[in-house]
Amino acid sequence: MNTTRKLWIGLAGLLATSFGVLLWMGAKIDEQAPPVPERVVTPRGEVLYERADIERGRQVWQSMGGMQLGSIWGHGGYVAPDWSADWLHREALTLLHAWAVREYGDSGYDALPEERKAGLRERLKVHLRRNTYDAANGTITVDADRAAAIAAVAAHYDRLFGNDPEMADLRADYAMKDNTVPEAAHRRALAAFFWWTAWAATTERPGARVTYTNNWPSEPLVGNHPTGGTYLWSVFSVLFLIAGIALLGWHHAVSHGREDVPARLPETDPLAMVRVTPSMRATAKYFWLLLALFLVQILLGAITAHFAVEGQELYGVPIAEVLPYSLTRTWHTQLAVLWIATAWLGTGLYIGPAVSGHEPKYQRLGVNVLWVCLIVIVVGAFAGQWLAVMQRLGLERNFWFGHQGWEYADIGRFWQWFLFIGLMLWLVLVGRALWPAIRRGGDGKSIVGLLFLSAVAIGLFYGAALLWNEHTSLSMVEYWRWWLVHLFDEGFFEVFATAVIAFLFTRLGLLAERSATVAVLFATIVFMAGGVLGTLHHLYFAGTPTPVLAVGASFSALEVVPLAYIGYEAYHTYKLGRSTAWMARYHWPLMFFIAVAFWNLVGAGLFGFLINPPLSLYFMQGLNLTPLHGHTALFGVYGMLGIGLMLFCLRGLKPGVVWNTRLLKGVFWALNIGLALMALLTLLPMGTLQVLASIEHGYWYARSAEFMHQPLMEMLVWLRVPGDTIFSIGALLLAWFVAGLWMRPGGEAALPVGSRPTAQEP
């Protein structure tokens, strides 16, 4: 049995086992999700909330932006509070104050000596952590004191989400528009939902000494501290990381030095000889769309960041009245995924006929129809989200056409179905173009096959977005949502990109097809070994049982293992770029691939593992160390990769045009320096200060307006300006460069196809 076949069998076995365990864990999550009661009552039979109130409150929360305006259980935006932690702290303080007044006089809790405070806190822990849910009749019972505290906190939220002038400053601090939820009945339902999420965060599971959310968030008043399992599995995650790096190092030492370069390198650029078919030429519009989405995303990102200091205004202009924070952040995060995905969709459509040399019938029509569908989806979905956030769509239509409220999965279900059908069309277009190459066989068959299978996975795994409905439990929505975000956006696009890059190097004649196939299959196995079950590290505190924490911590550590040798990958790419004179034509696409390797190590590796272990994430989830990882991994890895792939395709689409390499040099360094400054001047120091606050005072304080609007924190927000400005200049230069490929008169004649580069090339 040859090495390639063994690797294919190993990959199939790994995926079957990993997804089997992941599905089994999903069943356990579904069984043990925090219960939603039929009623919340007092001992006297007074009904505070019914199940319909809680479910309607979740609909209201989703329609106003959901995770884009504050967070629930740590997942969501960073300017407004985590509503679960905020409610929990306010309810705890209200109870302590009421008890203190009743038992010790009118001065209240804050005026008591420490020993009396300690006694009340111990009573509070027992009082709030006790599980009074009766599964037989679906009822949660709260005493009169707690009922009064719930009413007091609900009144606070009623005023906050309405238009109370006394709450204007706090709304601005939270970047909320006035009358975020204009209907009083909806505000009451919203409070019911917030209360339930806080109840799950502080109520112990039956027969356990841990809450439904594994004692998250950190809240000293109610005894929410990291569990023993949180400490234990954090240690094991480090051990798994060290062991994985050691094993990969051993493999690298054994396999290092194997010849993977062909005996004779091509004298001219083989890809310059590829016939550009009509469908390949039609992919150019995907890259124009990419640039438009990228530029709009940057603009929305700047507005979103500015909301952190002015709240409802943009340099004095009351922008929140027409474009509130929850909407700009929604579009900013959605566009990040959309423009990067557009780069890869365009690359797949370009590569298919280039691999096989076959142009299927009506392929160009399919490419054009899919492009139109992308525009319709973006415009339609974004319009629906605007209507939802402005509370003009109605709760009955919101789930299908408005704002679902789930970060990175915000668009309405109708648009998700539309996008899924579009991905199926893309899969058909790519698959039928690749099929002749797969049937031909040869040494490159496995790379083409892996390229095709990753395209299948990309198309099918978006279907995870369709596996929850409007009233699916919060824990199960999170489970399927991370299938979408982690496996679809991060997992199989990574495999697709690895296969595309390997294909490019083999077609350029710089890598032997057999050794490149082995390398790609091995890299896929290493990545998927941690990547599939590592999905669970997003779910430590999402109402999931302890085994999720154990499995997620163990396997998410393995996700970092391949990144330990990323320097070798970068150096290998650099050597290939200097192997022949004509490779100077691909200097800047390769530089973007080297940047991918760098940001893989820093963004996905260092900053990713910083927040991955359970103990780290317990204090860091939803703080600014999360977007530190998000920005440097999402753009640093996938964004840079998308730009690199786009440049490779553009070199093939315009083979005779001399590139303005000074402009590309400016693009490259502006994007990388801007991203680094954004991370180091703002996100890293802000996140670090928040973690210290979370450890010392509780999670609620790290997300509070009191902490976030200190002069130091606001200064750190303003320090985003240099990095954001440099980054934006890089994006504008990229757009100008691409436009110049079509606008420059006579450009096609400047460099004959297949010739050596002129002095203008690097």
Run of H or E residues at 49: strand 47-50
Peptide bond into 614 cis (omega under 30): no
Mean pLDDT of 441-447: 69
Q: What 8-state DSSP symbol labels residue 211? A: B
Scored b (16 or more CB within 10 A) or e, 519-532 reads bbbbbbbbbbbbbb
pLDDT band at 749 (very low <50, low <70, confident <90, very high): very low
Specify the pLDDT at position 753. 40
Query: Which of 364, 415, 374, 385 has the alpha carbon at shortest distance from 288?
Result: 374
Q: What is the average pLDDT across 744-748?
A: 51
d(CA 628, CA 640): 16
Tokens for 522, please give them.
């091995």
Q: What is the pLDDT of residues 290-307, one digit of tens each?
A: 999 999 999 999 999 999
* Res. 762: pLDDT tops 50: no
* pLDDT of residue 277 exceeding 80: yes
Mean pLDDT of the chain: 88
* ∠ Cα 633 634 638 (to 5°): 100
Q: Are 41 and 48 in contact (CB under 8 A)?
A: yes
Round the CA-based radius of gyration of the chain to a whole number and report it: 27
Angle separating helix axes 684-697 and 711-718, nearest 10 degrees:
150
pLDDT digits (tens, 9 = 90+) for 31-57: 999 999 999 999 998 999 999 999 999
Mean pLDDT of 465-471: 94
With residue 50 as reference, give the H or E element that holds it.
strand 47-50
Helix spans in 390-512 (H): 395-401, 413-440, 445-461, 474-482, 493-507
The residue ranking higher by pLDDT, 158 or 563, is 158
pLDDT tens by residue, 349-380: 998 898 888 899 999 999 999 999 999 999 99
Judged by DSSP in three states, 439 sits in helix
Residue-wise pLDDT tens digits, 393-408: 999 999 999 999 999 9
Task: Tell me the longest C-alpha to C-alpha distance in the chain.
Answer: 91
Q: Choose among 216, 206, 193: nearest CA to 32.
A: 206
pLDDT band at residue 145 using 50, 70 and 90 as cut-offs:
very high
Contact, 534 vs 560, CB < 8 A?
Answer: no
Q: What is the pLDDT of residue 637?
A: 87
Residue 29 identity: I
- Encoding tokens for residue 367? 């490419």
140 in helix, strand or coil?
strand
Whether the pLDDT of residue 703 is over 70: the answer is yes
Mean pLDDT across 718-736: 95
Separation of alpha carbons 152 and 218, rounded Å:
23
**pLDDT tens sequence across 95-128:** 999 999 999 887 889 899 999 999 999 999 999 9
107, 329, 706 from 411: Cα distances, Å: 50, 13, 33
Q: What is the mean pLDDT of residues 409-417?
A: 95
**Which tokens belong to 333?**
């995060």
Distance of alpha carbon 678 from alpha carbon 671, whole angstroms: 11
* pLDDT tens digits, one per residue of 325-338: 999 999 999 999 89
Q: Which two tokens stand for residue 270?
A: 């083989």
Distance of CA 407 to the CA centre of its chain: 8
* pLDDT band of 78, cuts 50, 70, 90: very high
What pLDDT is stored for residue 506 in this prediction? 79
Nearest residue to 450 via CA among 463, 438, 432: 438
Q: Which tokens belong to 460?
A: 């099918």
Average pLDDT, integer, range 603-627: 92
One-letter identity of residue 250: W
pLDDT band at 28 (very low <50, low <70, confident <90, very high): very high
Tokens of 753: 């196809």
Q: What pLDDT was estimated at residue 231?
A: 93
Three-state secondary structure call for residue 119: helix
What is the pLDDT, as a whole number, of residue 567?
62
Contact 614, 554 (CB under 8 A): no
More confident position, 194 or 239: 194
- For residue 541, the 8-state DSSP code is T
The pair of three-digit structure tokens given for residue 16, joined into one six-digit string: 């079957």
Which pLDDT does position 242 carry in this prediction? 87
Locate tokens 């469908």: which residue? 279
| Residues 6 or more apart in contact with residue 119 via CB below 8 angstroms | none
Dist CA 447 CA 7 (whole Å): 12
User: For helices 83-104 and 114-129, what crossing angle results, to 10°?
Assistant: 130
Which residues are CB-neighbours of 113 under 8 A, at least 6 positions away?
none
Secondary structure class of 224 (helix, strand, coil): strand
Is the confidence at residue 460, as pLDDT, over 90? no
Strands 75-76 and 71-72: antiparallel
How far apart are the C-alpha atoms of 628 and 352, rounded to whole Å? 35
In tens, the pLDDT along 184-231 reads 999 999 999 999 999 999 999 998 999 999 999 999 999 999 999 999
d(CA 457, CA 11): 14
**Integer Cα distance of 113 and 375 in angstroms:** 64
pLDDT for the residue 256: 62
SS3 category, 548:
helix
Amino acid in the structure at residue 587: H
pLDDT tier for residue 491 given thresholds of 50, 70 and 90: low
Give the whole-angstrom CA distance, residue 694 versus residue 705.
14
Whether the Cβ atoms of residue 191 and residue 158 lie closer than 8 Å to each other: yes
- Closest by CA position to 15, among listed 611, 460, 408, 563: 460
Q: State how far the Cα of 149 lies from the Cα of 223, in Å rounded to an integer.
A: 19
**Whether the Cβ atoms of residue 486 and residue 608 lie closer than 8 Å to each other:** no
Q: Report the range of poorest mean pLDDT among 443-457, 486-500, 659-673, 707-721.
A: 486-500
Give residue 581's pLDDT band: very low, low, confident or very high (50, 70, 90): confident
String of b and e for 549-574 (b: at least 16 CB within 10 Å)?
bbbbbbbbbbbbbbbbbbeebbebbe
DSSP H/E element including 72: strand 71-72
**154 vs 87: CA distance, rounded Å:** 9
Q: What is the pLDDT of residue 586?
A: 85
